[in-house]
Amino acid sequence: MNLAPPPHRVLRLPGVLSLDSGGSLAAPAVAFETLGELNARRSNAVLIAHALTGDQYVASPHPLTGKPGWWTRMVGKGRPITPERHFIICANVLGGCMGSEGPASIDPETGRPRALGFPVITIADMVRAQAGLLDMLGIERLLAVVGGSMGGMQALQWAASYPDRVRSVVAIATAASHGAQHIAFHEVGRQAIMADPDWRRGNYLAEGTRPARGLAVARMAAHITYLSEAGLTEKFGRRLQERDQLGFGFDADFQVESYLRHQGISFVSRFDANSYLFITRAMDYFDLAAAHGGRLSQAFMATRARFCILSFDSDWLYPTAESRRIVQALVAAGRHTSFVELQSPHGHDSFLLDCPAMNRVVDGFLRAVEAEL
Amino acid sequence: MPEGARVLDVGCSDGTLLAWLRDHRGVDGRGIEIDAERVARAVARGLSVVQGDADRDLAEFPSDSVDVAILSETLQAMHRPARVLRELLRIGARAVVAFPNFGHWRVRLALLARGRMPATPSLPASWHETENIHLCTVADFRALAREEGLRILGEAHLAGWRRVPPAQANWRADHALFVLGRP
């Protein structure tokens, strides 16, 4: 496997980044991509926050897979978030593996990969790193911070951590905290990675191995949670894979097995197993209400941002009830809020897929925010 | 409607009224609507509208958070109309309530002459398909306001596009509009 580092665009934050854990990172790297131009008033910056396995290549080709960006349906010319009007920034999260400081980064003190020596980070830490990046880019205030899934958590966290730096927040298919079921699924993934003998207690990079099987299983389990039962049934049903009858063995008899195996294997070529551990941990630790005295509305008291909250009717991972909880808190805090449950058969992944209603809503929402400038 | 007022439109549909008030009166508007398609259209117009059920979700809105709460052509679809009226006047200092008048002569005639539930130009759906479960007359509404201790600050009544004097509204008006204040 070729793991020569691709030429990511990276800035190192000045000074020390203090973390929720009490730990810190000196001059952490933040890898990012931008599209469009910052206007003279510096009022058109839109920050896109990516999901668990996303990266900064939101609308530009992925350097490892060569595939188009992961959100080209939302971001790009003629899309709701467009370089024609916006200066679009997307940064690899802290803990990630596409150029930002993470467990695969080299520890300057030892000259070896940080591995489990990397500090456990939180969603708020990710947002701190993004704010540091914006400082370096000379952006005081965002027109919008936009994200789905874990990206939505970061978007909500932005309003709580930096209430004056965001004019609007778009949080799609997300939740204000991780519940037992979310943590449970993530724990399955982490255990799969750690059970792989090639994980080497996290030191696989130094020892020249890769916990590819463990990471693939983690991805397979997680991928099921991103789909809907109806979507899986429609796409695969009980159809067999390149055969006419059952094989009476443990090859991939069924198309759905073959599909999941493919998802697992292709994931391994672009993602770091330790990053998966750290980022899932950050999501599990996320509880915006707990960080504000147990009242979610308190998280939104200081900001004047407008909010757009969207959920999907077939998303059982972050169902509409989770979005409604956020909306209740926003309404109680007196914030300008838009919320709608969209129809899509594709489960949690719906936010990444073609959904014209989502695009219309986000487009109208952003134009209204811009009209207020 | 005062210029720049804070307004909550309960049952705002696709936001037509809110958009008009925003564009012509500069109001700071919000809305709540139960139908997802209509909410999506309202949000796409740049309005702050949340998908929700007025019977249940008004409780989340803080007291005194708007100047005027509007309930337009929605009262008759509420499960608990009296409670919704009380909620409107908790959230806003004033409430504007518009509803179709079930005391209109066409309605009375349909029931009297044909013995069938009336379907009129302002209430076109048949009895088994209508969302309107709590229809009332102008006189019923005045009585409810009195029972709830709500003050009627103003009223306007229409037959088609023509104004009808309040004294004749109960049988002549097809639509009624009341401005309510707190007890």
Q: Which of A279, A303, A337 is the last residue of a domain?
A: A279
Chain A, 130 to 169: residues with Cβ < 8 Å from chain B are none
Quote the CA–CA distance of A285 and A282 in Å, as a whole number. 5
Altogether, the residues listed in chain A come to a count of 373
A3 belongs to a structural domain: no
Report the C-alpha dihedral over residues A26, A27, A28, A32, rounded to 10 degrees. 170
* A319 assigned to some structural domain: yes
Q: What is the CATH number of the domain that holds A349?
A: 3.40.50.1820
The domain boundary residue, chosen from A248, A279, A310: A279
Question: Does B117 score more than 60 pLDDT?
Answer: yes
Domain presence at residue A4: no
What whole-number percentage of chain A has pLDDT above 70?
A: 98
Q: Do A42 and A116 fall into the same domain?
A: yes
Q: How many domains does chain A have?
A: 2
Mutation pick from A309, A339, A340, A344 vs chain B, by most beta carbons of B within 10 Å, is: A340
Two tokens, residue A180: 């037992």
Sketch out chain B's domains with CATH numbers: 6-101+133-181 (3.40.50.150)
Instruction: Assess contact for B7 and B25: CB atoms under 8 A.
Output: no
d(CA B172, CA B34): 31
Tell me, yes or no, whether A5 lies in a domain: no
CB contact at 8 A, B11 and B32: yes
Question: Does B62 sit within 8 Å of A361, measured CB to CB?
Answer: no
pLDDT, tens digit, 9 for 90 and up, residues A199-217: 999 999 999 999 999 999 9
User: Which residues lie below 8 Å from residue A111, measured CB to CB, with a gap of 6+?
Assistant: none
Q: What is the mean pLDDT of residues B108-121?
A: 89
Q: Quick one: A97 and A121 in the same domain? A: yes
CB contact (8 A) between residue B40 and residue A371: no
Residues A57 and A161 in one domain: yes
Q: Average pLDDT, stretch B164-183? A: 96
Say if residue A290's pLDDT is above 90. Answer: yes
* Residues A152 and A238 reside in one and the same domain: no
How far, in Å, CA of A233 to CA of A197, rounded?
34
Same domain for A167 and A55? yes
Interstrand relation of A168-172 and A144-148 (parallel, antiparallel or unpaired): parallel
Q: Which of A223, A252, A279 is the last residue of a domain?
A: A279
User: In this structure, is residue A227 part of a structural domain?
Assistant: yes
Pairing of strands B28-33, B92-100: unpaired
Provide Rg for chain A, Cα atoms: 20
In sequence order, the 6+-apart residues with CB closer than 8 A to the CB of A9 are A31, A32, A33, A99
Determine whether the interchain pair B44/A363 forms a contact, defined as Cβ–Cβ distance below 8 Å: yes
Q: How confident is the model at residue A1 (pLDDT cuts 50, 70, 90)?
A: very low
Instruction: Give percent above pLDDT 90 in chain A.
Output: 97
Question: In terms of domains, do A142 and A186 share one?
Answer: no
Positions of A marked catalytic: 149, 315, 348
Q: Is B6 helix (H, G, I), strand (E, B) or coil?
A: strand
Residue A206 vs residues A114, A199, A269, B86: alpha-carbon distances, Å: 10, 11, 18, 68
A341 has a chain B CB within 8 A of its CB: yes
Contact by Cβ (8 Å): B90, B183: no
With CB atoms and an 8 Å threshold, state whether B40 touches A342. yes
- Which is nearest to A296 in space by CA: A338, A335, A254, A248? A335
Residue A129, domain member (yes or no): yes
Claim to verify: residue A34 and residue A97 sit in the same structural domain: yes
- Six-digit token pair at A272? 């770091």
Quote the domain boundaries for residue A122: 10-178+287-371
Q: Which of B65, B64, B78, B101 is nearest to B176 (CA)?
A: B101
Instruction: Kindly state whether residues A169 and A310 are assigned to the same domain.
Output: yes
CA atoms of A179 and A183, how far apart (whole Å): 6
Does residue A337 sit at the B interface (CB-CB below 8 Å)?
yes
Tell me which of A54-63, A345-354, B126-135 is least confident. Answer: B126-135
Residues A28 and A158 both lie in one domain: yes
pLDDT at residue number B124: 86
pLDDT, average across residues B45-71: 95
Judging contacts by C-beta atoms under 8 Å, the chain B residues touching residue A365 are 43-44, 46
**How far apart are the C-alpha atoms of A162 and A294, rounded to whole Å?**
19
Kindly report the CATH number assigned to the domain that includes residue A211: 1.10.1740.110
Q: Which amino acid is at A349?
A: D
